[in-house]
Amino acid sequence: MSESDAGRPVWRSVMAGRDPLQGHRASTPLELLFDLCFVVGVAQAAASLHHALSEGHAGSGVLGYAMVFFAIWWAWMNFTWFASAYDTDDVLYRLLVLTQIAGVLILAAGVPRAFGEQDFGLVTLGYAVMRLAMVGLWARAAREHPGGRACTSRYAIGITVVQAGWIARLALPGEAGLAGFLVLVLAELAVPLWAERFQQTAWHPGHIAERYGLFTLIVLGESVLAATTAIQTGLERGIVTTALLSVALSGIVIVFAMWWVYFARPAERILTSNRVSFPWGYGHYLIFSSAAAVGAGLGVVVDHDTGRAHIGDLAAGAAVAVPVAVFVLSVWLVHLRPHHRGRRADAGFPVVALAVLLTPLTPVPLPLIAILMAGLVAVSDAGVFRRPARAARTRRRSSRRPPASSHR
């Protein structure tokens, strides 16, 4: 990080790449601000999903949420990995990051229109602002870091070409526009694979793990905020106290269990190469999007309990059960299974996910989901719970052994 002697950033420093083995590499205040601004977009997407589900428009609501969330997540992820390799924190760098922040705020402003009128014009504009700022960063890295030019120049070219496709997609009608979206998503996912095929960026495993962990916390916090707002709305609408307490307590347990299982193992241990990092990084789309959708689902349950939702009991229960099940499965497959913890530690995840999906068929889906998630924590971390007792018994047995003879 380039700073002057007075502690202020310099106007410009050479973007030569960060040391991937740098000790104590932590997220910068600018990265934290970046995350908080991106959560504005996440909150808008989750709120729009909440309203769509409550109105009985599950198909269009989920599709719109998946499309908008992809734009938010992909722009966030691309900057995160770039910053891990090339963060200079000079004035030019900060200005391009500010441009990306402005882009996500434009995107967030267009989310309601995208959901309500299927008008993705403002969302596409915000996305273009973010992506063109990233082109500027990659182009700068290509110019100032000759050793990484083969990779960084490919990023700049690939992002520019795909972004032109996103703008052209606005002219496509109806189903053609959806098909164009799917093609462009595949093109976006292919750009890093193409760019780093023969040369890799020098990202920092510890820094990446921390950045993803912090964004997970922020997204879970957004779910807590959404649930709190829903409960407050329930109080204003005169919801039955017992039903409100059920939603509140169940929501707290569910979100706490989601936090627990995600942070059960440090991701830095498995981020050793692109072979692991690509599926891990890409797979977090499901983790982040499902975590944010849980808050939307809790809001749907409150709407249903107050008679404001145009859906039945099954759909209301599914609004929470489906994202929780997706979260459980994606955390297991993407985040925990690569640690090779053993069959016993992993077996509970698919079983709990299936059981959660069946809870809407019961009279009390939310409390059952909370119980299942608490059970998953207990089963998946049973080895962790046993270690202190086992270590204590080992120490006691060692203390009972007679001291070794001096002639041995």
pLDDT by residue (tens digit) across 33-52? 999 999 999 999 999 999 99
The pair phi, psi for residue 113, each rounded to 5°, is: -65, -35
The model's pLDDT over 219-229, given as tens digits with 9 standing for 90+, comes to 998 888 877 87
Q: What is the largest CA-CA distance in the chain?
A: 90
Check if the beta carbon of residue 137 is closer than 8 Å to that of residue 130.
Answer: no
Hey, what's the torsion of the CAs at 318, 319, 320, 326, to 10 degrees? 80
The residue behind tokens 């700073």 is: 3
Mean pLDDT of 81-95: 92
Cross-strand bridge partners of residue 9:
3
Cα(92)–Cα(401) distance, integer angstroms: 67
Does the predicted model carry a pTM greater than 0.75?
Answer: yes
- The residue among 84 and 379 whose pLDDT is bigger is 84
Q: Is 215 left (phi over 0), alpha (psi -120 to 50) or beta?
A: alpha
Cross-strand bridge partners of residue 3:
9
Check if the beta carbon of residue 123 is closer than 8 Å to that of residue 111.
Answer: yes
Determine which of 105-114, 241-250, 386-395 has the lowest per-residue pLDDT on average: 386-395
The model's pLDDT over 104-157, given as tens digits with 9 standing for 90+, comes to 999 999 998 888 888 899 999 999 999 999 999 999 999 999 988 999 999 999
pLDDT reading at 260 higher than 70: yes
314 token code pair: 């099954």
The residue behind tokens 């938010």 is: 72
Q: Average pLDDT of the chain?
A: 86
Cβ atoms < 10 Å from Cβ of 59: 9
Check if the beta carbon of residue 135 is closer than 8 Å to that of residue 159.
Answer: yes
| 161 band by pLDDT with thresholds 50, 70 and 90 | very high
pLDDT for residue 402? 45
Per CATH, which fold does 204-398 belong to?
Answer: I/LWEQ domain (1.20.1410)
Q: State the span(s) of the chain assigned CATH 1.20.1410.
A: 204-398
| 201 band by pLDDT with thresholds 50, 70 and 90 | confident
Sign of the torsion formed by the C-alpha atoms of 284, 219, 208 and 166 = positive
**Percentage, residues of the chain above pLDDT 70:** 88
Cα(122)–Cα(42) distance, integer angstroms: 16
Mean pLDDT of 265-275: 78
How far out from the chain centre does Cα 342 lie? 25
pLDDT for residue 330? 95
pLDDT for residue 405? 37
| Amino acid letter, 285 | Y
Q: Choose among 312, 313, 345, 350: nearest CA to 330.
A: 350
Check if the beta carbon of residue 408 is closer than 8 Å to that of residue 293.
Answer: no
Q: Which helix (H) or strand (E) holds 290?
A: helix 274-305
Cα(289)–Cα(306) distance, integer angstroms: 26
| 329 band by pLDDT with thresholds 50, 70 and 90 | very high
- The residue among 271 and 81 whose pLDDT is bigger is 81
- The residue among 130 and 20 whose pLDDT is bigger is 130
| 389 band by pLDDT with thresholds 50, 70 and 90 | very low
| 15 band by pLDDT with thresholds 50, 70 and 90 | confident
CA distances, 186 to each of 60, 74, 109, 153, 162 (Å): 21, 12, 26, 20, 10
How far out from the chain centre does Cα 17 lie? 26
**Percentage, residues of the chain above pLDDT 90:** 60
- The residue among 165 and 384 whose pLDDT is bigger is 165
- The residue among 384 and 172 whose pLDDT is bigger is 172
The model's pLDDT over 273-328, given as tens digits with 9 standing for 90+, comes to 667 888 999 999 999 999 999 999 998 998 888 888 889 999 999 999 999 999 99
pLDDT for residue 398? 47
pLDDT reading at 176 higher than 80: yes
As a whole number of Å, the end-to-end CA separation of the chain is: 58
